[in-house]
Amino acid sequence: MSNRIDVKKTYKLYINGAFPRTESGRTYEVKSAKGAFVANPCLASRKDLRDAVVAARAAHAGWNKATAYNRGQILYRIAEMLEGRRAQFVDEIMQVTGVTKMKAEKEVTDSVDRLVWYAGWTDKIASLAGSTNPVAGPFYNFTIPESMGVVAAIAPETPSLLGFIDAVAPIITSGNTVVILASTKAPLSAMTFAEVLATSDLPHGVINILTGKKEEIAPWMASHMDIDALDISGLPAKLHAETKVAGAENLKRIHSFKSADPGRIIAFMEAKTVWHPIGL
Amino acid sequence: MSFEYAPAPESRAVVSIKPKYGHFIGGKFVAGSKHFPTVNPATEEVLSQIALAGKAEVDAAVKAARKAYTTTWSKMSGKERGKYLYRIARIMQERAREFAVLETLDNGKPIRESRDTDIPLAAAHFFYHAGWADKLEYAGLGTSPKPLGVAGQIIPWNFPLLMLAWKVAPALATGNTVVLKPAESTPLTALLFAEVCQQAELPAGVVNIVTGDGSTGALIVNHPGIDKIAFTGSTEVGKIIARAVAPTKKSVTLELGGKAANIVFDDAPIDETVEGIVNGIFFNQGHVCCAGSRLLLQENVAEEVLHKLKNRMEKIRVGDPMDKNTDVGAINSKEQLAKITELAAAGDAEGAERWSPACTLPAKGFWFAPTIFTGVTQAHRIAREEIFGPVLSVLTFRTPQEAIEKANNTPFGLSAGIWSEKGSRTLWASQQLRAGVIWANTFNKFDPTSPFGGYKESGWGREGGRHGLSAYLKGVSHE
């Protein structure tokens, strides 16, 4: 065996397609399941969140306007990129969470497959969640679901990769952009996933990723007036009520989910109904 | 030679108003303890004394609703539930004139509107939802949709019976039971609706109606025996409700305020557009959450549109709501009149230019002449705040992009209007507008099949259509 010293990675944030350090200069320590030092990821601040929201808002118009076919291809491209880096994700998941190799491999496999599943939803969800409405009059009337805007999300602690993908994928499928706080104890897969995103043709700012503490960032997400909706699936239940109270200031749509299904996509869409007269 | 309209009053003989009303709980009218008056806003005549529900009455209503839910309504097949809704729809049609007269007396809206819009649409909502009751598993809202339980429903005074129908019909069709509170100033048609429930032999407790003010509403919102809150009203109260239910398992739908942009492009059909502008802001005295209260005119047609709009406004007939020729009736309450007056004064103070047609307002009652403000900027209060009265703020724009930016520059997102003869521009604008209902070359159209509800601070959820059902069903994956 060689005595080579391996080159370790600095885990940073992912905002607007770039990998900045937190403006706060703060980090926290992530340890392996056995207690050994693994990394010093960023302890993101309120300012980092605000920067990420600015990026997400700026990216929304373009991503929302992209065709559903195009969004589907990009989601599929993300799956392709993830597939090619399976081994790295398996290693990181095992190292930090201590699960068996078989379990880690299943999580990565499920993550790739989930991305493929959502890729296929982009150009189908509007047919299911929309309608034409037979009003009693000479009007053409239809209801189209469309994206809400900027959605913030808190990823569950585990599974750190699959839980993260189950949060971001349904949000961006419909054309929303997202700011997500990764698993606090196991943020490595999310930050490595940012590298997958960076090579997936995903426009900058569509997915923005922070690492840090839920109890610190969630209240700022809830009270931010330029965030339209919030997925609190990864937030401890004891913090749900206060988050919803703070979110009421701009009537954020706040949801939490237990499983992956098309309802997760629809929950972050708005139904728009258009009337037009029919006549000569 | 001038043509005058002879008076054409609708007879009020068709209604008999009791001197005093109680609550409708468990299928029976029960006497109230405290009372407050409800007045005809066109004459200030006291129409009746209305019971003010406190904790005991709200508790009794929730208990009756829970009992009906557990023992009867949730066990009944959708097919049979639907038949009760059909019965209700039919009886409302049979008694439509009575409802229309009562609505106009209590609310102040023109009889033409209550007769031709409010009451027929309310009946249509029951008829539409009746048909859903046995087809819910086909609605695309889960394979085994289940009701939530007891719904607490709080409705406003601008469309009293219609808002009742929007709330009660979907709740009942999906198998929920309800405790409904009509608005403080317009309870009479809800109390007549209680009689309809009796005539339809609706099982006791499926619909309970308690009257009162905001304190009664708060008792409903905070009641631990209620599973769902449905509210239509101001954004301010909507936020209070959102905070109040945050720590609970209650699900919530909110239909709140609006400040809709009505955008006129330079290729619009001007005469139709002027009719649409008038309908958009003066329908129901402007007491409409989705009213087209911000008129955005493309600069090169602004002068022509304003000229024609003023001519058209000269012909609006303001006065006795019971007169079949009346276009604009009374402001619903003294409080609302004060609010409109204050905001219009802010328009003057901030430098906008006020114009109203010459019209004589009745000496008694609450009245406000149809009014437009020109020279309005986006910073003015009358361009930002919901006035909820017959007051139109006029702004201009040069490019379609500027129109969209101005239209979306509001925390509200309930509705918007587009006037243009160019299909691609209309569809482009309807894509860009952040609002739940877009009327293109029309305005203020409603239908039970058509989902209604807002983006952003205009609320949560939709009412009407397939989308409206989900507000009363479990089984969607999120909380």
Q: Give me the percent of chain A exceeding a pLDDT of 90.
A: 96
Pairs of residues, one from chain A and one from chain B, whose beta carbons lie less than 8 Å apart: 119
**B450, B452, B460, B473: best to mutate for the A interface, most A CBs within 10 A:** B450
User: Is the pLDDT at A243 greater than 80, yes or no?
Assistant: yes
> Which candidate, A142, A153, A140, A173, places its Cα nearest to that of A266?
A173
Measured between CA atoms, the residue of chain A closest to residue B456 is A251
Q: Give me the percent of chain B exceeding a pLDDT of 70.
A: 99
**Residue among B247, B437, B457 minimizing CB distance to A241:** B247
User: Is the pLDDT at A59 greater than 60, yes or no?
Assistant: yes
Which pLDDT tens digit goes with each residue over A141-187? 999 999 999 999 999 999 999 999 999 999 999 999 999 999 999 99
> Which candidate, B342, B386, B123, B88, places its Cα nearest to that of B237?
B386
* Chain A: closest CA distance from residue B449 (Å): 6
**B290 noted as active-site residue:** no
In this predicted structure, what is the pLDDT of residue B477?
A: 43
First to last CA, chain B: 67
User: Is the pLDDT at B479 greater than 90, yes or no?
Assistant: no
How many CB atoms sit inside 10 A of residue A57's CB?
A: 17
Flag whether residue B456 sits within 8 Å of chain A, measured between CB atoms.
Answer: yes
Confidence of residue B312 (pLDDT cuts 50, 70, 90): very high
Whether residue A276 and residue B451 make contact (CB cut-off 8 A), yes or no, is no
The chain-wide mean pLDDT, for chain B, equals: 97
The answer to whether A141 and A133 have CB atoms below 8 angstroms apart is yes
Strands laid side by side in the A177-181 sheet: A207-210, A177-181, A150-154, A229-231, A253-255
> What string of DSSP letters covers B47-116?
EEEEEE--HHHHHHHHHHHHHHIIIIITTS-HHHHHHHHHHHHHHHHHTHHHHHHHHHHHH---HHHIII
Chain B stretch 132-161, residues whose beta carbon is closer than 8 A to a beta carbon of chain A:
140
Q: What are chain B's domains?
A: 23-256+456-474 (3.40.605.10), 261-440 (3.40.309.10)
Confidence of residue B476 (pLDDT cuts 50, 70, 90): low
Confidence of residue A280 (pLDDT cuts 50, 70, 90): confident
The helix (run of H) or strand (run of E) holding residue B38 is strand B34-40
The answer to whether A169 and A114 have CB atoms below 8 angstroms apart is yes
**B353 noted as active-site residue:** no
* CA diameter of chain B: 70
Which pLDDT tens digit goes with each residue over A93-109? 999 999 999 999 999 99
The answer to whether B445 and B118 have CB atoms below 8 angstroms apart is no
Whether residue B451 and residue A143 make contact (CB cut-off 8 A), yes or no, is yes
Q: Does ipTM exceed 0.85?
A: yes
Facing residues of A180 across strands? A153, A209
Measured between CA atoms, the residue of chain B closest to residue A241 is B247
Measured between CA atoms, the residue of chain A closest to residue B140 is A128
CA distance to B16, B98, B318, per residue, from B89 (Å): 21, 14, 32
Chain A stretch 111-130, residues whose beta carbon is closer than 8 A to a beta carbon of chain B:
128-129
* Chain A: closest CA distance from residue B411 (Å): 8
Per-residue pLDDT, averaged over A209-228, amounts to: 98
User: Is the pLDDT at B126 greater than 80, yes or no?
Assistant: yes
Flag whether residue B411 sits within 8 Å of chain A, measured between CB atoms.
Answer: yes
The answer to whether B174 and B136 have CB atoms below 8 angstroms apart is yes
In this predicted structure, what is the pLDDT of residue B1?
A: 62
A271 interaction partners in chain B (CB closer than 8 Å): 436, 451, 453, 462, 467
Distance, C-alpha A50 to centroid of its chain: 16
- Which two three-digit tokens encode residue A92? 């990181």
B411 interaction partners in chain A (CB closer than 8 Å): 250
A131 interaction partners in chain B (CB closer than 8 Å): 451, 465-467
Q: Give me the percent of chain B exceeding a pLDDT of 90.
A: 97
User: Is the pLDDT at B311 greater than 70, yes or no?
Assistant: yes
Q: What are chain A's domains?
A: 30-277 (3.40.605.10)
- B259 Cβ contact list (under 8 Å, min separation 6): B293, B294, B383, B384, B385, B386, B410, B412
- Which two three-digit tokens encode residue A64? 């929302």
Measured between CA atoms, the residue of chain A closest to residue B438 is A274
Confidence of residue A132 (pLDDT cuts 50, 70, 90): very high
Which pLDDT tens digit goes with each residue over B188-241? 999 999 999 999 999 999 999 999 999 999 999 999 999 999 999 999 999 999
User: Is the pLDDT at B167 greater than 70, yes or no?
Assistant: yes
Whether residue B438 and residue A273 make contact (CB cut-off 8 A), yes or no, is yes
B467 interaction partners in chain A (CB closer than 8 Å): 131, 143, 271
The chain-wide mean pLDDT, for chain A, equals: 97
**Whole-prediction pTM:** 0.96
> Of B10, B57, B197, B289, which is the active-site residue?
B289
Dihedral sign for Cα atoms in the order A199, A203, A204, A205: negative
Which pLDDT tens digit goes with each residue over B385-412? 999 999 999 999 999 999 999 999 999 9
Whether residue A251 and residue B242 make contact (CB cut-off 8 A), yes or no, is yes
In this predicted structure, what is the pLDDT of residue B5?
A: 86
Measured between CA atoms, the residue of chain B closest to residue A259 is B477
